[in-house]
A and B are shown apart, each in its own frame.
Chain A
Amino acid sequence: MATSLLAWLIWVTPLIGALLTPLFAKIHSRIRDVAAVGFTLVAAVLSTITALTVSAGDYTVAWIPSLSITAGVLVDPLSLFMANIVAWISLLIMIYSVGYMKGEFGMTRYWFFMNLFIGNMLLLVLADNLLMMFFGWEGVGLCSYALIGHFYRDEPQYWVGTPGDKALGVSEEYSPTKSGMKAFIMTRIGDIALLIAIFLIYAFARTFNYNQLVTQLGGSGSWAANLARLGLLLPTALLFFGGPIGKSAQFPLQEWLPDAMTGPASVSALIHAATMVKAGVFLTGRMGPVFFIALSQFNQVPQFFGFIAWIGALTALLAATQAAVAREIKKVLAYSTVSQIGYMMLALGLAGLSANFLAGYTAGLFHLLSHAVFKASLFLAAGWVLHVTESRFMDEMGGLAKAMRLTSASMLLAGLSLMGIPLFSGFWTKDAILSLSFLGGQYILYGLALATAFITGFYTVRMLGITLAGKPSKHLEELMESGKHPHEASLTMLIPYLLLAVGSLALGLSYPIYSGPLTRYVASTFSSTIYALPSATSSASSLTDLLLLSVSTAVAIVGGAIAYFLYFRKSYEFETAMNPIQRFFWKRWYLDAIYYKVFVSGLLAASRGLYAYVEQGIWNRLNNVVAKDIMDYSRASDQLDTQVVDRAANEVASYGSRLSNLLRRLQSGVTEQYVIAFAIGIILLLAYMLFVVGAT
């Protein structure tokens, strides 16, 4: 009990911290800031201690006994792996926030939601059942809404999108409040699917608990068998995956994430690196093996995991192309996140498609780890760049490398990791996914992933080139003339992203050392289950491996080289005139506009149409016809009316008003009368009791 308390405290601590934030704010704003960071620190330390000391297990307490639903924390390698990533990266982001958000308005709200965000994410990760997980899931969604719309006054500098930019007549500019709403509603679509799936599972399995779901898989009477008999097993799995699609911004629900850049840079980092979008990957990882075992009993594995893999690969390519033409630095990073999450989904999908489930599984999770580190670093550094240049457009930056050496260096390190340059962490994990898809015989998926790797190399170098190299832009020169020179961030901001960038390199350098043990550790999550997951050793020769490595590296480097010649040498000017392909990418494949047209405008048009044709056209005409008849009739009866009915009605009405005057006195507001009424009530009750007693 005592040790499992540690695991509980991991997610409870930030939530308590969130609740206490307003209280600390009353004392002093400094204490509030320090306390907010302190609670996250405690959570991070606790998650590490738990990983080191608490033995794996499901620590439950009773929750809703009548439905035999228990609450609990599941301590196993997967949850601890995630909890440590979430908590430690969140901590660095929180430290960064202290400096970055200094002097902004609504800071009590900011800290409250940041801690709530982290607490909910940790709850999501550590929950031992689907219901509790869903609480965290929704809490994360709520906090993301609040934090994306943190600057709810909608000042122009916090918007995203180029002013006046339109696709199909739909504005591609988003204010903080609008994009917050968009994120909330779009993820909600996936959540509904997820909720339906959870309740379907519960209806058949009578439990939400992960471990029980696994152990109850055997036999012909299991929940999976019952679902499959009705033909619902595959639909349930697909609906379940709807949640991760929404939360992790996968096609077709990827459109909310790029616009979510309206929040502060620290929030973007938190959403992209540590929480929110990782929730979908985690949940797929958590339930993936369960569905794998369930579906494999009915030979439906390729459909479900193929779907995941295809969604992932498509999203990866789709988002990467958009990143290649984006104008805002944070939008490049946002598209890149969507693309990288696509890689993770691809890996999880490949797990089910290939002969080696655990290899794909760990590849996805490892890429999550390396992505969390370098993307957090990139976002935090980008936040500082935005602050210094007072602009969100890359063409208004340029030549920052001279003034900000450390920031530039950390962006470079993290960028190289994102590209997948050898020795960086991104290299190993991305390559694992690529070679897995090739060795698994999924050549189309491999092609898509390879194309994405090429574009990733391109857009990363493009982003670095435009912002850091070359000459300062006109905007920047004007800024310098007014005395605002670009300079390094203060230590509270610099250290987090520098540490993460160096960490990304260190993770890459030491990958050969830790990958084996960590793979075994994460894989041991499922060693206790009674069902063996396929883990055939790779049959590929080391030569094939090497070839695959060099192909993916070469592709990324070629992409980077093209961008180098295009953007490092010349200064970049944003042009509205683009060639058709660029325009197609720039307009986000017109998906956003189409969604808006179909769902938002479509709904409005439908309701307007209903009003115009149904309400006005049919109902009113009907009404008019009826009314005309009635008028004729009533004219005839008018005489009768005034003479007889009216007088009767007036009489009744006057009685009514007299009665209400009488009743009005009851509501006098004079307390004594109420008390007297109360006393009379007691007396009547006593009289009744006396009567009853007397009767017996």
Chain B
Amino acid sequence: MEPLSSFFAVSVILLGIGIYGLTTKRNAIRILFSVELIYNAANLNLIAFARLRNPPIVTGQVLVLFTIALAAMEAAVGLSIIILVSRLNAEIDLSKLSKLKG
């Protein structure tokens, strides 16, 4: 049997990749990818931690269901914002979008 720590390891690596993407990328869609990866890292963590107890806690799985649904909504809204921005600016490079900057 695989120890739970290896699941945590995968989760941390996913988080690292996500943070790396968030910091280095400028493309809005790419940043959305990174955010989704971080979400998955969190989800994996929740599921794995739910198994720590014996018997496992169901709450972890319930929370993940909620998170997945929330992530889908976030993606829908985020993507529609991206479409709107691209239509207005012909540009989705976030570093070049400064219209809302004070």
Contacts and interface: CB of A to CB of B under 8 A. Distances in A.
A and B touch in the complex (CB under 8 A): yes
Interface of A: 669-672, 675-676, 678-679
Of B19, B31, B95, B101, which is in contact with the most chain A CB atoms at under 10 Å from its CB?
B19
A304 to B, nearest CB: 55
B98 to A, nearest CB: 8
A678 B3 CA distance: 29
Nearest to A669: B101
Contacts of B94: 671
A671 B96 CA distance: 12
User: Which of B22, B31, B94, B101 gathers most chain A CB within 10 Å?
Assistant: B22
B23 A676 contact: yes
Given A671-B22, A671-B94, A678-B19, 12 more contacts: A669-B101, A670-B95, A671-B31, A672-B22, A672-B23, A672-B24, A675-B19, A675-B22, A675-B23, A676-B23, A679-B19, A679-B23
Contacts of B23: 672, 675-676, 679
6 contacts: A669-B101, A671-B94, A672-B22, A675-B22, A675-B23, A679-B23
Interface of B: 19, 22-24, 31, 94-95, 101
Contacts of A675: 19, 22-23
Contacts of B95: 670
Nearest to B25: A672
A678 B19 CA distance: 9
B65 to A, nearest CB: 25
A434 to B, nearest CB: 66
A497 to B, nearest CB: 51
B50 to A, nearest CB: 20
B24 to A, nearest CB: 7
A679 B31 CA distance: 16
B95 to A, nearest CB: 7
A678 B95 CA distance: 19
A669 B31 CA distance: 16
Contacts of A670: 95
B22 to A, nearest CB: 4
A671 B31 CA distance: 10
A669 B19 CA distance: 17
Nearest to A667: B102
A672 B19 CA distance: 9
Contacts of B22: 671-672, 675
Nearest to B101: A669
Nearest to B21: A675
Most chain-A CB neighbours within 10 Å: which of B23, B31, B101?
B23
B57 to A, nearest CB: 21
Nearest to B100: A669
Contacts of B19: 675, 678-679
B35 to A, nearest CB: 10
A647 B37 CA distance: 55
Contacts of A671: 22, 31, 94
A675 B24 CA distance: 10
A671 B22 CA distance: 8
B10 to A, nearest CB: 17
A332 B34 CA distance: 72
B88 to A, nearest CB: 19
A675 B31 CA distance: 11
Contacts of B101: 669
B14 to A, nearest CB: 14
A671 B75 CA distance: 18
A71 B23 CA distance: 52
A247 to B, nearest CB: 44
With a 10 A CB-CB cut-off, give which of A670, A675, A678 has the most chain B CB atoms.
A675
A680 to B, nearest CB: 10
A670 B25 CA distance: 12
Contacts of B31: 671
A664 to B, nearest CB: 12
Nearest to A675: B22
5 residue pairs, one from A and one from B, having the closest CB atoms = A675-B22, A672-B23, A679-B19, A675-B23, A669-B101
